[in-house]
Chains A and B, each alone.
Chain A
Amino acid sequence: DAGVIQSPRHEVTEMGQEVTLRCKPISGHNSLFWYRQTMMRGLELLIYFNNNVPIDDSGMPEDRFSAKMPNASFSTLKIQPSEPRDSAVYFCASSLAGQATEAFFGQGTRLTVV
């Protein structure tokens, strides 16, 4: 398996534009996590899906952020409209459901909003 695949790897956009980040989890995994990492705030959990259903979205910063998982092999994180403070590295991770399973992370998408 190629692991968790995120696209794009880098994204530069202008303030006010819509940004869509994509994630393909490892085949067979049924839990998916989206994280945001900045120097100031570290690695923050944004949202967590189990069997394509959002279980905990308490980390989503505001209504400008939305995440979907239409099927077991694809998830998106959308920011509309984007703001400079959204600049960060966004990571996606997947795992089998359950508390004794390891999560595998993608390489991240570095988002810069100018």
Chain B
Amino acid sequence: DAKTTQPPSMDCAEGRAANLPCNHSTISGNEYVYWYRQIHSQGPQYIIHGLKNNETNEMASLIITEDRKSSTLILPHATLRDTAVYYCIVRGNYGGSQGNLIFGKGTKLSVKP
């Protein structure tokens, strides 16, 4: 089972920041938080990941709380092309498996003009 909880859907106005929350209250110390998105009928696309510190790349920013029990993905200026399902994933080292990627239901983000 997925180890994360996300709201099923969110709306965002075009040009505004989209803030997508994720709860992962049972995260272990060596587990990373990953974000992927899936635009309709395409394969999932990697966005960003982090362990403890906040991270930023050309696509988004990831804010992880100090206790690491939750995080927020921020799309600073959402466009219509950012409409997708966003998945928050906790990824660890399960024995010798070196990290399965288990997807939950995600958040369907709708960016509106």
The range of chain B's interface size is: 20 to 34
- Least CB distance from A103 to B in Å reads 6
CA distance A107 to B44 in the complex (A): 9
Q: Chain A's nearest CB lies how many Å from the CB of B22?
A: 16
Say yes or no: A97 contacts B98, CB within 8 Å: yes
Name the interface residues of A71-101: CB closer than 8 Å to any CB of B. 89, 91, 93, 97-100
A4, B49: Cα distance in complex, Å: 20
**B51 to chain A: which residues have CB within 8 Å?**
100
Chain B residues in 8 Å Cβ range of A4: 43
How many chain-A residues does the 8 Å CB contact rule pick out?
26
29 A-B residue pairings within 8 Å (CB atoms): A4-B43, A35-B103, A42-B103, A42-B105, A42-B106, A43-B38, A43-B103, A45-B100, A45-B103, A50-B98, A55-B96, A55-B97, A56-B94, A56-B97, A56-B100, A89-B41, A91-B43, A97-B98, A98-B99, A99-B31, A99-B91, A99-B92, A102-B46, A104-B46, A105-B43, A105-B44, A105-B45, A106-B43, A108-B42
A48 to nearest B CB, angstroms? 6
Contacts of B49 in A (CB 8 A): 100, 102
CA distance A89 to B41 in the complex (A): 9
A99 touches B93 (CB 8 A): yes
Q: Which of A33, A97, A100, A108 contacts B101 (CB 8 A)?
A: A33
